[in-house]
Amino acid sequence: MSLKSEFKEFISQGNVMDLAVGVVIGAAFAQIVDSLVTDVLMPPLGMMIGGVNFEDLKIVLKEEVADAAGKITEPAVSINYGLFIQNCVHFLIIAFSIFLFIVKPMNRLKGKAPTKE
């Protein structure tokens, strides 16, 4: 079997195509969840806890340094824990969605499959 025909057989297998489709759909889903968390969930949550913007929550370890002309020569160094909290919310929503829409239905289908004796 030639390299070309072997590669063609490999790429046409269902698993590879399923994986490619899953990656594309996963990337699109991640954008939706990102918008949900950033634009819908976090602003009201920040408002409820006193008008906090989570993107601004950070601990500055070193201030930025600018020259006489105002050009930044050294950027600030900070621990951005607000962005970390926001990314944790992203992860939890994605993980819960995968569980709810993929794992639970698959477990239900496995449970309904006829058993062999």
Q: Is the pLDDT of residue 117 over 70?
A: no
The predicted structure's pLDDT at residue 60: 93
Burial class of 50 by CB neighbour count within 10 A (0 to 12, 13 to 18, 19+): exposed
Q: Is the pLDDT of residue 104 over 90?
A: no
CA gyration radius, the chain: 24
Residue 33 covered by a domain: yes
CATH code for the domain in which residue 80 is found = 1.10.1200.120
Domain count, the chain: 1
Is 64 inside a domain boundary?
Answer: yes
Question: Distances in Å between the alpha carbon of 23 and those of 46, 60, 64, 87, 110?
Answer: 32, 36, 39, 20, 24
pLDDT of 83 above 60:
yes
What is d(CA 36, CA 29) in angstroms, rounded to the nearest whole number? 10
Q: Which ranges of 1-103 does DSSP label H, i.e. alpha helix? A: 3-11, 14-35, 42-48, 81-98
Q: Is residue 117 included in any domain, yes or no?
A: no
Instruction: Report if residue 98 sits inside a domain.
Output: yes
State pLDDT tens for residues 63-79.
999 998 889 889 999 99
Could you tell me if residue 22 is inside a domain? yes
DSSP 73: E
- Residue 92 lies inside a defined structural domain of this protein: yes
Residue 18 is part of which domain span?
3-112
Q: Give the separation between CA 41 and CA 56, rounded to whole angstroms.
A: 16
